[in-house]
Amino acid sequence: MPTAVGTSLAIIVINSGAGFVARAGDTELDYRVTGAFTAAAVIGSLAAGRVATGLPAQRLSRAFAYVVLGVAVFVAAQAVLNPPASGGPG
């Protein structure tokens, strides 16, 4: 399980970094908003780490699976109910 978690986090970091680099020149960043999101992510991660140490690993894994399933259902529903407009060349 630790290997899977580490691999998942590595993929998230690479994906996020690639997305940032690809779009970095397209827009100006509001560093106050960026800083607020970063601070919230760090604080949330630290708090979750403290809470997670007191919970059984199987319970956390199951909860995470339900969250992922919920996000997948939401994204699928959005794709079906509100499909993106085809903006290709005409």
Give pTM, 2 decimals.
0.51
Mean of pLDDT values over 77-84: 89
Positive or negative: CA dihedral 62, 43, 78, 20: negative
Q: In a 3-state reduction of DSSP, which class is residue 80?
A: helix
Band the pLDDT of 60: cuts 50, 70, 90: confident
34-43 per-position pLDDT tens digit: 899 999 999 9
Number of neighbouring beta carbons within 10 Å of residue 11:
10
| Residue 79 pLDDT > 60 | yes
Rounded mean pLDDT of 3-22?
A: 87
Reported as a single tens digit per residue, the pLDDT across 43-59 is 999 998 898 888 898 98
